[in-house]
Structure 1
């Protein structure tokens, strides 16, 4: 530890010097302009433009549209040198960042996820695609010395705006990179998973952070925030109770939160906000980027790419997914997440070998993308990049692994035909925590956290294979197929896929965390049982009746090494990550504290299986 501290102290001046050198270079070689770009309906969007002083060649334009502010406003420069974006500046890009409609210094009304309108007929018919078109059109016509080629990029919500830009149809737009793009907030982004409210993320973001606070006028001032959490978020969310108490705490004035509370099921309101609905006949080249361990928008990258492949097959689309938390690919460290090491600087490899060459090729005519595969995916466990002609891989075979008696997990077809089962009591007053330690805010490391804390609980079922005698690699989506019976009329089901390390694995050399027997979370997902047959028309369970609950778990790219074990955990709460189910068939968004009751849940052996995409 002392050596690590000494190394950090010794390297710190060099890091600061490099940043200072980049910042000095940027300010000396770029000029900043602030402009108001008119949209077709007369609304003006505040835009910061950073142009190279060099006039020897014409420059491409790279745009990011954001709800998070294009600050600093005024004469100060944006800190592009603090991350790898300085490399675009060194390449001579015109860097543009814009406050989207209704945010910060831009005029208009903000909508959290503005639906795409494929049938715009008048200048009053606007969406994020039309705002992107009008922005691009103004820039190429009004910025001196641009080469007429435009790219758009963005992470998270800016990733959503990048997707919308791709739907604009502007002929100057040649390349777009939606990264961890907000895509479908009912099925898999940070508001919901399979219709289950992701309580902590949604409430912290829309209310605590103030993202959904109304802004009647352009302003450089941040939104009003609410200090909602105590130092123990588990205790705070549990004490707050049923969802109407959270609505009351929000002041019942945040439109998006209030809208969610009256749209519990998949309906036209949610479908209109599914970005994939507009992904058709996309013209620019697309580079979709995501993280295997992205706790916020991990769903978006996989599913935006699949929509491109299925709905816009002529588009030149590529997928890159690395071993990253939300936005880690744009950071300065892609070597690890929590206690899990990845064996290389995965972020730098991606930046230098994929993203910058992608934009250089399409916007500058520089270099080649011949080595860019359709899908470039990092497989954790083996810690290797794989370049694949498609995703999921063609040689991924859906392979069931069965839950058996005595906590066994087996690839062999069951011979036991008896209706044996494991049973646990799910108590909403003591929900299973999503992480072991006490936290104020949701961690990003939980996506690879040790699950031994959960395995010790009596309300978590744990099944494990014998020690593997060969590597087993998974690549693609997972299907959970459970047969259950419950004592009440509704329940949630969480399925976790876990990599169990050998007992003799050395401790983490940096954190000193004991890795022998470590239960690494590889992937997990939650399903609200009432939606087992339809997300549009929920159904109550019949108490005591064995019932199938089948649902998709997001894509996995992981190798279970020889000497490890595969583990499956099943539970019925994941708190406060996901909101609690009252375990009665009531309107959860308007439930009372008294509606929450215990229930007994049975999971049947042999009839319950997890279908894994095993690469042969």
Structure 2
């Protein structure tokens, strides 16, 4: 089937602003469903077709629309990020449904920001929107996007705005300025120096490149003006709209993606409301869908390009939209269980009827003092045990914001020098401000699938500080690979709306959400837990003063204590299952 390509088709919004899109359509036949994606990264860039080949989908009987959102690339207007996407999404969906050759049904696809534009359109309930397939996306611009556990996702914020948002904005806004080459060079140089300079500058709000080049208005700096969750954040959130979203949704995420848990949360919210919904989680990061992520080779079948040696990403999308828009089960998707997971450690795909998996046993692994009889455990400074502590001492360390623990891998989306995904943590583990608790050698495989929570009993001589917890898989050769981690900013221990400072010396019980995983800790390996107070630049440094960490440069060293006694049994809760 021949495919017609139309470039820079204009789409009027309700306020008269015209957005631009590229169209791929079958030359003959029809009517056909329409597949729509809307994003700020350029409809003519390779990113637009990374998940779905529009030509192949047009050949399969779909009209495909790829749109620049308002204020980006070929579209008119000013880019105001999430606030604009509700009404613009509705208007674009209904425009797409009315295209010549359309059957009036629209499905949406896309990852990250253009996963979020799907949710925002769906929240407006356009009558022609019949299904969505959001990949690696979130549900709130604060929770899990700009902020996690109360701490700012500083590395992502700084890197994303500098490269993906500001650079195209500069090219668009200053395209007739004779000084454009010099300005581009300055912005690129600033990005290149992020790891050595820009990320470390204080206060964070001093991040001056955007004001210097007259870019983005106050868009970047609003995060420092609204450090708590307030009406500004809620105005662009999907969470208040869950009840209104009734269409089928397929959620795709990666265990090392920066939006891993929000992806799962979106699935659970739809499932809890009885919607037609599915979940697939691979071993991927936000930008790497291959089978080799970080330091770990998960095998060819892990790659989204040949997932489970069954399908590529375009076929994957076609299966979903054939089922939901064409009511065709030719690929058999309707007969498959709704949850598909890649299990790391054994590197295989499994299917399940629910998340968390049935017969999951939440098992506490307690932080304990090291045992002198075990030389290896003694060197690791602490013990991780199924037995709760009795009479034990606490562990304390100094957290100096001027010398933070540097991020190494994990659920990152920042400058590539810090890595992403699973990486060896042994350099980090040498630091005196990283407490380590290591299990005995496992006598059999231990399968952990589900959400992981750390419950800590802590104190500090500061009025505010952070606690970071990480779970690692320690190989027989000593390699220590990060599996999950999380952070808790103490001022937000009880509320993201109304922060409360600490009383120095008082002991607090806090939960640290490590998000979720699917991992087999193999026989002969050990499980290790880190407790520290920073992972920079993944999260911004807590300066320990109680002031707004985004607008001050003053800092102090905090003496932080973790308790593991009978009265204060700090532990990590692991969801243990048995695989068939």
**TM-score (ref. length: structure 2):** 0.86
Does residue 356 of structure 1 match 2:318? yes
Classify 1:215/1:163 alpha carbon distance in 2 versus 1 (closer, same or farther; 3 Å): farther
The answer to whether the Cα contact below 8 Å between 2:123 and 2:238 also exists between their aligned partners in 1 is no
Out of 228, 238, 251, the position equivalent to 1:275 is 238
Task: Report whether the alignment pairs 1:286 with 2:249.
Answer: yes
1:240 corresponds to 2:201? yes
Aligned pair 1:304/2:304, yes or no?
A: no
Q: Which residue of 2 aligns with 1:384?
A: 348
Number of aligned residue pairs: give it.
Answer: 546
State yes or no: 1:599 paired with 2:568.
no
Contact map agreement 1:64 1:153 (CA 8 A) in 2:
yes
CA shift in 2, pair 1:401/1:70, >3 Å = same
Aligned to 1:13: none
Asked if 1 retains the 8 angstrom alpha-carbon contact of 2:285 and 2:420, the reply is no
Inter-CA distance 610–577: structure 2 relative to 1 (3 Å threshold): same
| Superposition RMSD in Å | 3.0
Gaps of 5+ in 1: 1-24, 115-126, 504-516
Aligned match of 1:118: none
Matched, 1:203 2:158: yes
> Which residue among 59, 73, 81 is the counterpart of 2:32?
59
- 1:314-340: CA deviations, max 9, x gaps? 3211111111111544xxxx2211221
Q: Distance in 2 between matches of 1:591 and 1:213?
A: 30
SS at the partner of 1:255?
Answer: coil
Give the match for residue 506 of structure 1: none
Equivalent positions of 1:185-584 (< 5 A) are 185-189=141-145, 191-211=146-166, 226-227=187-188, 229=190, 233-237=194-198, 239-246=200-207, 250-251=211-212, 254-294=217-257, 296-310=258-272, 313-329=273-289, 334-346=290-302, 347=304, 348-349=306-307, 351=312, 354-366=316-328, 367=330, 368-406=332-370, 407-418=381-392, 420-435=393-408, 441-442=415-416, 445-503=419-477, 517-584=478-545
Q: Does 1:32 align with 2:6?
A: yes
Runs of at least 5 residues in structure 2 that lack an aligned partner in the other structure = 371-380
Residue in structure 2 matched with residue 151 of structure 1 by the alignment? 107
Quick one: structure 1 residues 35 and 130, their matched pair in 2 at CA, closer, same or farther if it must change by over 3 Å? same
Q: Stretches of 4+ moved more than 6 A in 1? A: 212-224
Please state whether the residue corresponding to 2:118 is helix, strand or coil. Answer: helix
- Give the superposition deviation at 1:481: 1.0
2: CA distance, partners of 1:377 / 1:268 = 36
Q: Name the SS of the counterpart of 1:280 in structure 2.
A: helix
Equivalent in the alignment of 2:571: 609
What CA deviation, in whole Å up to 9, does each residue of 1:143-175 have, x standing for no partner?
2x3333321101110100112232342333222
Deviation at 1:230, TM superposition (A): 6.9
CA–CA distance in structure 2, aligned partners of residues 81 and 529 of structure 1: 40
TM-score scaled to structure 1, two decimals? 0.81
**Residue 228 and residue 462 in structure 1: after superposition, are their counterparts in 2 closer, same or farther (change >3 A)?**
farther
